[in-house]
Structure 1
Amino acid sequence: MSNLVKLIAVDLDGTLLNEENRISKKNLEAIEFAQANGVEVVIATGRAHFDVQTIFKETGLNPWIIGANGATIHQPNGELFHSVAINQQDAFHILNWLEQEEYYYEIFSNQSIFSPQNGRELLAIEMDRVKSANPEVSMEQLREAAEKQYSQSGFSFISSCKELIGNDVDVYNILAFSFEKEKLQKGKEQFKDMKDVTLVTSAKHNFELEHKMASKGIALEILAKKLEIKLADTAAVGDSFNDLSMLRIAGRSAAMGNAPQEIKNSCQGVTLTNIDDGVAHFIYSLLK
């Protein structure tokens, strides 16, 4: 059975990347092993494709990249193969609300991640508020979570989303981030019933919005078709709720050892954690 796998879709954060946000030597070797055996290894992430390219720059690998939670698919040579943007009216409706409510947000577009100039200030204020309400909170963990957001490549800072109106900016994904539980909850409530927009979460402090025809699962299906690979011959591994659509549709699926129980329950198997090279473990289990 296992040698039928022809395509493996791999999430990045919490999956392929370790706690230092790097791809370990073991994971890299496993990907090379898969490729040497004629298996297409595809990166499927909420990140922007240009950010993924930066992460892979040192590795010598140029995989297909499903980016922005499935809103974009880029070819190994970097060219855009497929994309689904949020309708502009929907995008501005969302962004205006996020600005009014003083959220830190990121807009994933073709060339940049647009973020408000005062966004980092807003998060610093939130951290202080959370800390004073909850003295036992680890400030270091909050700072690490914020730093991880800021470490992406391709930021452009804007004073308001109104700057983008009338410019031909494709909005693939809108990420809202907050350290305040109630604030996150309020945002999810606000947008959960939008007709053409899907809401997913990829980490503890965020929710993400994209067109309802954009998901990692839909993108995996489109790419498998393009590469003439049956879905039964695909595999996927991930750790979060934005991975569910691809984990459910792939022929073989594994949750990371560090994934929430709900994700583990949705998969055929569970591999090791991202600190223990769980991706390599999964790849070898499929191919050996």
Structure 2
Amino acid sequence: MLCSDLDGTLLTTKSDVSHFTVSQISKIKEQVRIILVSARMPKSMKYVQRDLGIDEQPIICYNGALVLDGKKEIHSIFIQIDALSQIHLLAEKNNVQLGIYCNDEWYVEKDSERVQKEIRYTKANPVFKNTLETILDLKKRKLGAHKIMLMGTKQKVDIIFPILRNSLGNILHFYRSNDTLIEVAPKSVSKLSAIKLLLKKEETLANVIAFGDNYNDLEMLKNVGCGVAVANARHEVKKTAKHITLSNIEDGVAHFVKGHLII
């Protein structure tokens, strides 16, 4: 099983895989299951699946909080409404914007440069709605958030990040995906825990090759049989990985596949 992160790893541009990557994956996809593993929402992953010709494979969304096999839900766990409300209050106090994700729904309160970047990069459109109304609607439907994204300036994110970890770090994962973004996921899930759900009876983690670049890939790369970091990965990720390949913009995943998996 080959598992790959998308942003900064498999995607050569901010939103697409290259023709070279498609060609190399096509040479192994009959022998190796290709599983996309991302913090993205389902619709922002499925177009990559289609480009790679691996529509029949499961996808791991929201850092493992949602695992889908076609329309079948294999696993789903939410950030509960109480925690979501606490994060909303802290975000308001620190003038940081929230993005709330549930299944294939994405809610933000207002448009911004960051929101427009997300629309371009992930090929998904949000619903513009008051955050408190969104929370009340999710509560009414007995749902929660698969992921929360906090968006602000570096200065604001620097301030709120330790506050969030101190307040809710016992039940939630907080990742700095870059200087201006924090991604939030349930503590009980990770990319690694989701990969374990997809192992067949005769398989172990030793049978898995995984590619990544960021903090939320650390556990995955450390525990699979072959963890590979792209050259643009964070220093800690490269230290953890067993191999380092070229950067994402140099088709690092595809070159590793060509050099190690294609006979």
The answer to whether TM tops 0.5 is yes
Match of 1:251 in 2: 225
Tell me the residue number matched to 1:157. Answer: 128
Q: 1:234 aligned to 2:208?
A: yes
Partner SS state of residue 275, structure 1: helix
8 A contact 2:175–2:216 mirrored in 1 = yes
Question: Partner of 1:105 in structure 2?
Answer: 98
CA pair 74-249 structure 1, distance change in 2 beyond 3 A: same
Per-residue Cα deviation, 1:112-162 (whole angstroms, up to 9, x for no partner): 11111x241xx5xxxxxxxxxxxxxxxxxxxxx664323231411111233
- Partner residue in 1 for 2:256: 282
Q: CA deviation at 1:61?
A: 2.6
Matched AA of 2:59? I
CA distance in 2, matches of 1:221, 1:173: 20
Residue 42 (structure 1) aligned with residue 35 (structure 2): yes
Deviation at 1:249, TM superposition (A): 1.6
Percent identity reads 26
In 1: Cα distance, 2:38 partner to 2:14 partner: 17
1:28 aligned partner: 22
3-state DSSP of counterpart to 1:229: coil
Q: Which runs of 5+ in 2 are unaligned?
A: none
* Alignment coverage as a number of residue pairs: 254
Amino acid at match of 2:97: Y
* Paired amino acid for 1:237: F
**C-alpha distance in 2, partners of 1:20/1:186?**
27
Decide whether the 8 Å contact of 1:110 with 1:170 is kept in 2: no
Q: Are 2:240 and 1:266 equivalent residues in the alignment? A: yes
* Segments ≥4 residues shifted beyond 4 Å: none
| Structure with bigger RCO (C-alpha 8 Å, 6+ apart) | 1
Letter in 2 for 1:197: L
- Counterparts of 1:201 and 1:217 in 2: how far apart (Å)? 18
Amino acid at match of 2:157: L
- Separation (CA, whole Å) in 2 of partners of 1:154 and 1:245: 30
Structure 1 unaligned spans of 5+: 1-6, 124-144
Q: Structure 1's 259 and 64: CA in aligned 2 closer, same or farther, altered over 3 A?
A: same
Contact 2:7/2:14 (<8 A) preserved:
no
- What is the match of residue 127 of structure 1? none
Matched AA of 2:10? L
Give the match for residue 147 of structure 2: 173
| Cα distance in 2 for residues equivalent to 1:264 and 1:81 | 31
The CA RMSD measured in Å over matched residues stands at 1.9
Deviation at residue 204 of structure 1 after TM alignment: 3.4
Distance in 2 between residues matched to 1:93 and 1:156, nearest whole Å: 21
Match of 1:202, SS state, is strand
- 1:65 correspondence with 2:66: no
Q: Retained in 1: the 8 A contact 2:98–2:148?
A: yes
Residue 184 (structure 2) pairs with residue 209 (structure 1): yes
Judged with a 3 Å threshold, the aligned counterparts in structure 2 of structure 1 residues 256 and 212 are, in CA distance, closer, same or farther, namely: same
CA distances 1:191-236 after superposition (whole Å, capped 9, x unpaired)? 1132211111223321111110121121112222x56421011010
**Distance of 2:78 and 2:14 partners within structure 1:** 31
Supply the distance in 1 between the matched residues of 2:256 and 2:85 (Cα, whole angstroms). 41
